[in-house]
Copies of this chain bind each other. A is one copy, B any other.
Amino acid sequence: MDSRGRRITTLGNHRREQILRSAEKEFEQLGFAGARMQRIADNAGVPKSNVHYYFASKEALYDAVLSNVVDLWNAALAPIDPEADPASVLEDYVRMKVELTRRYPAATRIFAREVLNGWPFLSERLKRETREWAEALAADIETWIRQERILPVDPRHLIFVIWATTQHYAESDAQVRSIYRKRRLSRADHDRLADSLVSMVHRICGLEPTPAPV
């Protein structure tokens, strides 16, 4: 970062950003092994050797892409206030996660691929931070249960349900679109997912008044 907080690596560096954007698409669609430096160069509109001028190797290029992805995730993992209302904390988390997968589908899929591969490239730091964040949320959920503010539930499994379902929308894009028979999922589709998921999580925790049958 420079003195004004901008990333030095992208400071007015047009070519480098072009290449990074092209690389992100390539890695998202084909993974590290399937990605081709030639295609990344072609789609960025530069000769292949130009890519190597900015990034020493394919691994270095992938690291740069992954680093951007990690930054997004870190920014999103805001600390939780255990004094806050359980219903709002859970709702905020669900909506944040849905919004993240909607706005950054490529990053979500690259992250998913890392996880599926046993995250060989992912830093120990991010692994630790993710785990610590999940443990903090689990501890808060356990406190809420002890205080009888929500129904008893396995905190880790509840977190998995939220995490897995939101991830699923980005990861299994083709499958989801196949079941919906749609070419693209709209903003409204994501809003409905968020509403629906919030409602389901609240019911799991006994936080939603059971609606009277119509």
Partner-B contacts on A (CB < 8 A): 29-34, 109, 112-113, 115-119, 127, 130-131, 134-135, 148, 151-154, 156-158, 160-161, 163-165, 167-169, 171-176, 178-181, 192-193, 196-197, 199-200, 203-204, 206, 210-211, 213-214
Contacts and interface: CB of A to CB of B under 8 A. Distances in A.
Contact of A172 (B31, B115, B148): B115
The count of identical subunits is 2
Given A165-B160, A168-B163, A180-B156, A173 B31 contact: no
B127 A200 contact: no
A94 B1 CA distance: 47
B157 A197 contact: yes
Given A33-B34, A131-B179, A168-B164, A151 B210 contact: yes
A153 B31 contact: no
12 contacts: A30-B117, A31-B31, A31-B33, A115-B174, A116-B116, A152-B211, A153-B199, A157-B196, A161-B165, A164-B164, A171-B171, A203-B204
